[in-house]
Amino acid sequence: MRLKKNIAISDSGFLFDPSTGESFTVNETAQEILKLLKEGKDYDEIAGHITSLYDIDRAGFERYYQDFLEMLNHYHLIDHAG
Amino acid sequence: MEKRTFEPPVIKRLNAGMPSKFGMTPRIEPMPEVEGLKVSELLKEFGSPLYVLSERTLRNTYRDAYQAFSTRYPKVQLAWSYKTNYLAAVCNAFHQEGAWAEVVSGFEYHKALKNGVPPQYIIFNGPSKTYEDLLLATRNGSLIHIDHFDELYMLLEVSDEAGTKPKVAIRVNMDTGIYPRWDRFGFNYDNGEAWEAINRIMLSGKMDLAGLHTHIGTYILTPQAYRIAASKLADLAVNTERKYGHVIRYIDMGGGFASKNTLKGAYVPGTDSAPSFDDYADAITGALVNSAIKPEHLPLLILETGRALIDDAGYLLGTVIANKRLASGRRALITDVGVNLLFTSFWYEHQIVPAENSSQHTEDTTIYGPLCMNIDVLRAAIDFPLLKKGDTFVIKRIGAYNMTQWLQFIEYRPNVLMIDTDGKPHIIRKREDLDYMTRQEVLPEHLKNAGL
């Protein structure tokens, strides 16, 4: 699972998809996850990083992570070919 | 290192250039406390969900309303509309402020008596009163508001049996220039029916026509409608005095003042559109003072406003049960507060805010209750912060009708708490349990066990 390569994410939480021209805003948690996804980290690494930073356990995080991935998919931000 | 508070990750598409008739979405301010008590502590101690009533707000609102009228008119009396909230603690707080009781059924009449209201201070409205109700109210000297001719003729019989004249008013409906025009309650002014009812009462000689009453509608956003209604009742009072030399002692303008809740489909929030008590008072008292009623015979002005007196004093506290993602991509929040507890969510866009601080990030969300029913929707579409399972929230302005029209359906009704003016919480109605729920059931012998 990878983000589309050409997606731009700003430090202030804006995301731009040049292939559709659509813009998005993300919150801090989403920004952290997107950064790690861009770096090619896997779920274990992402979960480890988030649970070390925030007051959430792995089981709790997984549930919201899956939901977030669904939304990325919904907005066509996932590179299925890759 | 202390860990940061986790907020579920969210991504939201920006719709640049999309025109919005609603303007900017306001920042949702959390509400960590109600009347100085922490929401989380209240829910821990008294369970979730939880109704909370502020006695301070209730009394202050009453005083605001009374002041708006009493500074404009010499004789003003408020009567607490029992159907709006007939929990005894609520009724008695209003009675202590000076409110009479306005009831619309035999049950409510007996509840007012049980609360200790002197019967001459009970106004008996409503389309359904039994012969026994009328006989008791007549003997007690309560004020009976006649709704239709069948009731009028029944009262003539009651008058004979009681051996005393019932104190009555007629309920009058009319065109006040607003839609919908309520013509269900009472006698119509515009087609002469109300005047005919007055004539029959006066010519019978068996009733004391003490007052005139109207209830023009509900959630009336136009004070001008009350001005028209008060003028028409004043005309009836003047004509009655002219023809019979009989002075109408009170004019009762009913209820219907809007609260600050936002109606579904409204363009602007209720906080911006609802008239103030002063607006209503100006319209009503202006019409009476400027009418042809003789100054020495100015009637007592009675008001039966319910919703506007108590809506602001009520809060409903609840907890998130689950987050869901609907097929459309919209977020759904399942909570422990359903339409069974919040009947008014069928017509209001209730203001719902998180109890704890959240970031400025929000997502288009549908908020559901816990019922296994598709209609159990608190808010169909609300830009809402990203609450997690177990997070708590507060629904504002729920004091009117929800504690009377609530449904006993699927779930027990929870504790109702009143926080007194010293900030001390009191349970004023206990959470229901299985014993309460089954107490009225009677099982035939052959169905005493499940037999499986």
**Nearest by CB to B16, which of A23, A28, A71?**
A23
pLDDT in tens, chain A (82 residues): 788 888 889 988 899 999 889 999 999 999 999 999 988 899 999 999 999 999 999 998 999 999 999 889 989 998 876 4
Burial A67-82 (b: 16+ CB within 10 A, else e): bbbebbeebebbeeee
**Nearest by CB to B11, which of A52, A61, A72?**
A72
Alpha carbon distance B412, B432 (integer Å): 5
ipTM: 0.94
Alpha carbon distance B343, B77 (integer Å): 29
Residue B85 lies in a domain: yes
What is the tens place of the pLDDT at every residue in B331-378? 999 999 999 999 999 999 999 999 998 777 888 899 999 999 989 999
**In angstroms, how far is CA B345 from the centroid of its own chain?**
13
**Rg, C-alpha atoms of chain A:** 12
Residue A53 lies in a domain: yes
Residue A40 lies in a domain: yes
Tokens of A54: 């925030």
DSSP, residue by residue, B250-311 = EEE----B--SPPBTT-SS-HHHHSPPHHHHHHHHHHHHHTSSS-GGGPPEEEE---HHHHG
- Across the interface, do A29 and B16 touch by the CB < 8 Å criterion? no
Residue A18 lies in a domain: no
Angle at B33 (CA atoms; ends B44, A57), nearest 5 degrees: 55
**In angstroms, how far is CA B285 from the centroid of its own chain?**
23
The domain in which residue A55 lies consists of 28-75
Q: How many domains does chain B have?
A: 2
Tokens of B312: 């602001």
Q: How many domains does chain A have?
A: 1
Angle between helices B131-140 and B106-114 (to 10 degrees): 30
Q: Say yes or no: B328 contacts chain A, CB-CB below 8 A.
A: no
CATH number at residue B353: 2.40.37.10
The domain in which residue B433 lies consists of 33-52+312-438
Alpha carbon distance B90, B416 (integer Å): 11
CATH number at residue B78: 3.20.20.10
Q: Kindly report the pTM of this predicted structure.
A: 0.90
pLDDT in tens, chain B (452 residues): 788 889 899 998 887 666 665 555 667 889 999 999 999 999 999 999 999 999 999 999 999 999 999 999 999 999 999 999 999 999 999 999 999 999 999 999 999 999 999 999 999 999 999 999 999 999 999 999 999 999 999 999 999 999 999 999 999 999 999 888 888 899 999 999 999 999 999 999 999 999 999 999 888 999 999 999 999 999 999 999 999 999 999 999 999 999 999 998 888 888 888 999 999 999 999 999 999 999 999 999 999 999 999 999 999 999 999 999 898 888 999 999 999 999 999 999 999 999 998 777 888 899 999 999 989 999 999 989 989 999 999 999 999 999 999 998 999 999 999 999 999 999 999 999 999 999 999 999 999 999 99
Residue B1 lies in a domain: no
Alpha carbon distance B6, A76 (integer Å): 26
Q: Which of B282, B311, B340 is the last residue of a domain?
A: B311
Residue A80 lies in a domain: no
Alpha carbon distance A82, A4 (integer Å): 8
Q: Are B208 and B249 in contact (CB under 8 A)?
A: no
List CB contacts (< 8 A) between B390 and chain A: none
DSSP, residue by residue, B353-421 = EESS---S-EEEEEEE-SSSSTT-EEEEEEEEE-PPTT-EEEEES--SSTTTS----SS----EEEE-T
Q: Which of B163, B177, B377 is nearest to B264 (CA)?
A: B377
Residue A68 lies in a domain: yes
Q: Are B415 and B318 in contact (CB under 8 A)?
A: no
Asked if residue B143 and residue B74 are part of one domain, the reply reads: yes
Beta-bridge partner residues of B168: B144, B209
Q: Say yes or no: B11 contacts chain A, CB-CB below 8 A.
A: yes
Tokens of B107: 């049950």
Residue A81 lies in a domain: no
- Across the interface, do B325 and A25 touch by the CB < 8 Å criterion? no
Q: Which of B291, B311, B331 is the last residue of a domain?
A: B311
Other beta carbons within 10 angstroms of residue B385's beta carbon come to 24
Residue B257 lies in a domain: yes
DSSP, residue by residue, A12-78 = TSEEEETTTTEEEEE-HHHHHHHHHHHTT--HHHHHHHHHHHBS--HHHHHHHHHHHHHHHHHTT-B
- Across the interface, do B4 and A24 touch by the CB < 8 Å criterion? no
Tokens of A15: 């995301």
Q: Which of B363, B73, B308, B203 is nearest to A27 (CA)?
A: B363
Asked if residue B253 and residue B143 are part of one domain, the reply reads: yes
Residue B451 lies in a domain: no
Q: Which of B311, B333, B365 is the last residue of a domain?
A: B311
Residue B378 lies in a domain: yes
Q: Are B332 and B323 in contact (CB under 8 A)?
A: yes
